[in-house]
Structure 1
Amino acid sequence: MLKFSYHLFFPLILLINTSVFTQTSEEKINNLTEEINQLDQQKEQLYQKLETYKLTKLREDLYKYGLPKANDNEEIIHHAAMSLVYSEPHEQAKWVAHIILPDIINGKTGRTNDFREDSLVKTGSATEIDYFLKTKKEDGNYEYDGFGYDRGHLAPSADFRWSKKALSESYFYSNMSPQLAEFNREKWGELEDILRGYIYNNPTTQLYVVTGPLLNDTLPKIERSVNKVSIPAYYYKVVMDLTNQKAIGFIMPNQKINYPLNNYAVSIDEVETATGIDFFYQVEDEQENALESQKNITDWLPEKQKNDVQPLYQPDLPKGVYNTIQAKRLMGSNRKVTIAGTVVSSKETRNGHLFLNLDINYPNHIFTIAIWKQNILNFSYNPHDMLLHQTIYVTGKIADFDGIPTMILDNEKAIEIQAKEKYKLVIGDED
């Protein structure tokens, strides 16, 4: 009779058991990678659900406070993160309302450029062929024949970079209006950037924004457009911060703008007068009246721009005196001219040279006075202390310093300090 030897078979049993549970390094990597992929999928699903909840909350807030009052014959079209009233005679929105959320701070969704017709506009919205023609060439590339205007967003796509759905919907043609490139890509874009910057500086609030063109029956059309899209002469934007009880409006001409934004800051009341639209009518009356009368742009500017002032209105100046906007075209003329402006900042370099900026602070400065160290002794006063915040006339030749009109002064005789005056501002004057 054979006897079973436990000691003989134990190593073999142990070997079999450990081989079952032992994994190679490659198998461990593959298994862990699979777990991570599953977690990523779950995370993406949670982010999508979170985005849905945020869009729902946004619409609740927008419908509660952010929509203008529609006329009886107007239909409000609602999308995921913006609402609008479409003007069929002009083939663009009369207004578009949206909210800028603090989520833009960490938003990473980029431009989609998926311009398309808005199917919710029952009469049909504008389309691609209202702005340009596209012809496919033999090599497969496209040749574009533009009609001279950007497809300007009313509610900017960058305001929705936290949501793929909302950002994509901002490319509906119902959210487009024909804007000159030098307007859309410059001053209009600067205004949009400032509002997003406001959120960066105030991350616990959200901005209610309504944007649109000033529409009337006399506007010209894009003649080559199929639907004859109107070309607005002016655009408006109204903004409200309920958390901090601030509001402001802007009316800006559809053209190249040389003046700073504070030239175009108005109260919401003034925009309502210009448009006939009752904007934030759902806000309690007393609060609405207080908000819609405000127009203090310094509340909205980055800290470094808060001391900027508007250049003096050229027609108000004496003959032969130019404002700081005009200085650039006189740069390098090698003749003495007189420039008028307000000294908003000064800087003394480590070498002792003094630079005074008129109207607009560095780094956006548009005209500078330079006084070299050896010439400061020719002044009977300290130029920084005496001239800061003063409106002055300064006479001399204008040199080109890295593209900035700069006047180099030897003594105080070139400077005439002006009495404080209130200068007129006319919206749209860009001579």
Structure 2
Amino acid sequence: MKKQALTIALCLFTSSVFATSCPQHYFSGQEPGLTIPLQQNREICYTVFATGYSDATRTAFYSAEHLIKKNVLAAKKLKREDSFHEDPNLPDSAQAKLTDYKGSGFDRGHLAPNADMPTKQAQYESFSLANMVPQLHVNNAGIWSEIESTVRNMATTYGDVYVVTGGLYNASTQTIKNRIPVPNALFKAVYVPKMKEAGVFISDNNSSGSYKVISVNQLKKLSGIDVFPSLPNQKKELAMELPEVKQKDHKPAKFTLKNLLGK
């Protein structure tokens, strides 16, 4: 696929809620709030999703989407065209490079999935390395792929859902090429306007094939990210009953928050 010029808005932001350049991608027009100090962060506004990006780690700490039924149906008609690329809208010092992932043993794991993208432009944007984290292939192509599919099915069932996806890290986090941190686990937070409920899928970045559902406030404690800041606190305290993710050898009963991050 021929590279296309990306129409991207970049703006610096701090650890508090800021005036987003693309409110359409967030529930109530508010981007996730950060309760952890991060430096040189950027909001990157793409066609159908937005990314919260850290210059310091050269990776996204979240990507957010307002996933709607018509986009999911349109995405099904698009043939996947891999076009992984360095994001030209970032300064060179803040960019992840294709060479960072080469020979690393990790996939370039989408946060906002290619299969959510309704147009070729949006598909191309999803292959920016700014929308990637290092992910083990067995997780990326296994349970995580099933979680992504489950969320798309939720969008077609309910008409629309708001989604925020990111990685979880701790003191044992490794890096590739001494540049890019590898998340210990990944999360996908979902808010369903029709139900007025939210929940979070969370899965270790390993070969276990397991996942757990937690609340928005539990995620906030683990990640330092308030994924839906305008959601009433009582809604954040309760995890909605998300659809079961079916996969061979899935053993959710053995998955605990204690082993999630190696604590």
TM-score (norm 2): 0.77
Where do 1:118-157 residues align within 5 Å? 118-122=87-91, 123-132=93-102, 146-157=103-114
Aligned residue among 235, 239, 252 for 1:291: 235
CA distance in 1, matches of 2:167, 2:257: 21
The answer (yes or no) to whether the contact 1:249–1:266 under 8 Å persists in 2 is yes
The answer (yes or no) to whether the contact 2:32–2:229 under 8 Å persists in 1 is yes
What is the CA-CA distance between 1:171 and the residue it aligns to?
0.3
**Residue type matched to 2:233 in 1?**
N
Where 1:75 maps in the other structure, the secondary structure is strand
**Residue type matched to 1:68 in 2?**
P
Aligned residue among 263, 267, 275 for 2:223: 275
Distance 1:249 1:102, change over 3 A: same
Matched, 1:61 2:24: yes
Where do 1:144-293 residues align within 5 Å? 146-160=103-117, 162-202=118-158, 205-216=159-170, 218-223=172-177, 228-259=179-210, 261=211, 264-283=212-231, 288-293=232-237
Aligned residue among 61, 65, 69 for 1:94: 61
Structure 2, unaligned runs of 5 or more: 1-21
Q: Which residue of 2 aligns with 1:334?
A: none
The answer (yes or no) to whether the contact 1:118–1:124 under 8 Å persists in 2 is no
Once the two structures are superposed, what CA deviation does each residue of 1:159-181 show, in whole Å capped at 9, x if it has no partner? 11x22211110000011111111
**Residue type matched to 1:174 in 2?**
A
CA distance in 2, matches of 1:296, 1:426: 21
What is the CA-CA distance between 1:276 and the residue it aligns to?
1.1
Relative contact order higher in (CA < 8 Å, ≥ 6 apart): 2
What is the CA-CA distance between 1:275 and the residue it aligns to?
1.0
The answer (yes or no) to whether the contact 1:94–1:215 under 8 Å persists in 2 is no
Q: Which residue of 2 aligns with 1:362?
A: none
Largest Rg, 1 or 2: 1
Deviates more, 1:206-215 or 1:168-177: 206-215
Q: Which residue of 2 aligns with 1:25?
A: none
CA distance in 2, matches of 1:274, 1:117: 29
Q: Which residue of 1 aligns with 2:243?
A: 300
Distance 1:65 1:175, change over 3 A: same
Distance 1:249 1:222, change over 3 A: same
What is the CA-CA distance between 1:216 and the residue it aligns to?
4.5
Q: Which residue of 2 aligns with 1:105?
A: 73
The answer (yes or no) to whether the contact 1:117–1:124 under 8 Å persists in 2 is no
CA distance in 2, matches of 1:247, 1:200: 17
Distance 1:253 1:425, change over 3 A: closer
Where 1:196 maps in the other structure, the secondary structure is helix
Structure 1, unaligned runs of 5 or more: 1-58, 133-145, 315-423
Where 1:152 maps in the other structure, the secondary structure is strand
CA distance in 2, matches of 1:197, 1:164: 21
The size of the alignment, in residue pairs, is 231
CA RMSD in angstroms comes to: 2.7
Answer 1 or 2: which has greater helix percent: 1
Distance 1:117 1:219, change over 3 A: same
The percent of aligned pairs where both chains have the same amino acid is 28
CA distance in 1, matches of 2:164, 2:145: 15
What is the CA-CA distance between 1:210 and the residue it aligns to?
0.9
What is the CA-CA distance between 1:279 and the residue it aligns to?
1.8
Q: Which residue of 1 aligns with 2:43?
A: 76
CA distance in 1, matches of 2:151, 2:99: 31
CA distance in 2, matches of 1:301, 1:311: 10
Aligned residue among 82, 85, 91 for 1:116: 85
CA distance in 1, matches of 2:226, 2:257: 25
